[in-house]
Amino acid sequence: MASVETVRGPVELSDLGPTLMHEHVFVLSTEHVQNYGSTWWDEEARVADAIVKLNALHAKGIHTIVDPTVWGLGRDIPRIQRIAAQTPVNIIVATGLYVYEELPQQYAYRGPGTLIEMPEPMVTDFARDITEGIAGTGVKAAFLKCCMETPELTPGVERIARAVARTHLETGAPITVHTSGPHQTGRNTVRIFQEEGVDLTKVVIGHAGDSNDLDYLTGLADQGVLLGMDRFGLDLFNPTAERVKTIVALAARGYAPSMVLAHDANCFIDYWGGAHDQLRPVAAPNWHYEHISDDVLPALLEAGVTQAQLDTMLIENPVRYFTRAQGGAA
Ligand SMILES: [Zn+2]
């Protein structure tokens, strides 16, 4: 039986259950926390808080989260291992790079056509995370992540996207891309991945749900990719009522097999520094793990989406995404 790597090791795909396809546990800058976090970052309290929040999510019937926290968002696998040991929720982790424009200096001078001529070091690093494990923890990344935010492609972003595509070809791992709904950067993503020979059915166009443009969304889905309807609670980018309306319209046209759901939420994000706990309930009151279970699923059912279509989005599509092609690398 096919399985997928999680923080606690391989889990049978048939055991994933209802899955949110884009949730972070923490979003942090390691350097920011180390230098400026002494008054507001309490490691033990935050770990305990994350366990409580994940257990509450499990009680709502969600059994798995897919966490695309890579370098640039503060990936720290030993911390996530402590949390995973104390919650029944499966946590699937990623490799890749979260940058909007420029390559980190650590890759800029190494690689084909650079100062230090060598095979693409990103492919080497990402593939090792997938096949051997991350930073000596033994925890294996199960998918790849990159960003396509700005309307014009920068050389750095393109190099990362092509490195992610090549790692996908080498390992068989699927891909999630942070895209911009307003800039419709899913189109550039599909173009580059097509050029690289990526299996588009193994690609989530993350944050597609920030857009309500049905032509844009169906155009992407018709190429085979999954649409990440994955920022429920971030009303600033698109209010819940609009997000629901768009899913209802797409489901009515037969696109349930092309959509996955999530909040892109987290237990703590350091973008607000120490003001996190005060600001979040005011700035984004519904931006938490339970909004979909509490509010969105009932609203979708009310608007005519069937339970079978919800199961497709929450269970069947994630399983298909993480199912490796026959003969593909493990
Ligand atoms: Zn995210």
42-87 confidence digits (pLDDT tens): 999 999 999 999 999 999 999 999 999 999 999 999 999 999 999 9
Which amino acid does the sequence have at 83?
I
286 CA distance to ligand 1 middle (Å): 16
Asked if residue 270 lies in contact with residue 37, where contact means CB atoms within 8 angstroms, the answer is: yes
Give the per-residue SS3 of 99-138: CCCCCCHHHHCECCCCCECCCCHHHHHHHHHHHCCCCCCC
pLDDT beyond 70 at 273: yes
* 329 pLDDT higher than 60: no
Average pLDDT over residues 89-114: 96
Distance 118 CA to ligand 1 centre (A): 31
DSSP output for 183-225: TTTHHHHHHHHHHHT--GGGEEEETGGG---HHHHHHHHTTTP
Please check the confidence at residue 157 and state whether its pLDDT lies above 90.
yes
Q: Name the band, by pLDDT with cuts 50, 70 and 90, for residue 324.
A: confident
d(CA 77, CA 99): 19
Interval between CA 182 and ligand 1 midpoint (Å):
16
Contacts of 305 (CB under 8 A, 6+ apart): 247, 248, 251, 256
If DSSP codes are grouped into helix, strand and coil, which group holds residue 85?
coil
Residue ranges of alpha helices (H) inside the chain are: 30-36, 43-59, 77-84, 105-108, 121-131, 155-171, 186-196, 214-221, 240-252, 276-283, 291, 297-302, 307-311, 317-322
For residue 27, report the distance from its CA to the centre of ligand 1, in Å.
8
Backbone angles phi, psi at 253, to 5 degrees: -90, 10
What whole-number distance in Å separates Cα of residue 172 and Cα of residue 329? 6
CA of 328 to the centre of ligand 1 (A): 27
**114 CA distance to ligand 1 centroid (A)?**
30
Check whether 328 has a pLDDT greater than 50. Answer: no
CA 299 to ligand 1 center in whole angstroms: 23
Task: Label residue 102 by pLDDT band (50, 70, 90).
Answer: very high
Ligand 1 geometric centre to CA of 115 (Å): 33
DSSP 140: P
pLDDT in tens, 184-200: 999 999 999 999 999 99
Q: Is the pLDDT of residue 149 over 90?
A: yes
Tens digit of each residue's pLDDT (9 = 90 or more) over 134-146: 999 999 999 999 9
Q: How far apart are CA 49 and CA 300, in angstroms?
A: 30
Least Cα distance to 106 among 160, 154, 146 occurs for 160
Q: How much distance in Å is there from the Cα of 150 to the middle of ligand 1?
A: 16
- 66 vs 240: CA distance, rounded Å: 21
Indicate the average pLDDT of the chain: 96
The predicted structure's pLDDT at residue 1: 65
Amino acid at 318: P
pLDDT for the residue numbered 62: 98
Strand, coil or helix: what is 143? Answer: strand
Spatial distance between the Cα atoms of 279 and 307, rounded to a whole number of angstroms: 35
C-alpha angle with apex 145: 286 to 76, nearest 5 degrees? 75
Rounded Cα–Cα distance for residues 231 and 247 (Å): 13
Residue 42 is given by DSSP the state -
Separation in Å, CA 53 to CA 83, 125, 257, 304:
11, 32, 29, 30
Q: Which residues have a beta carbon within 5 Å of ligand 1, which is an ion?
A: 264
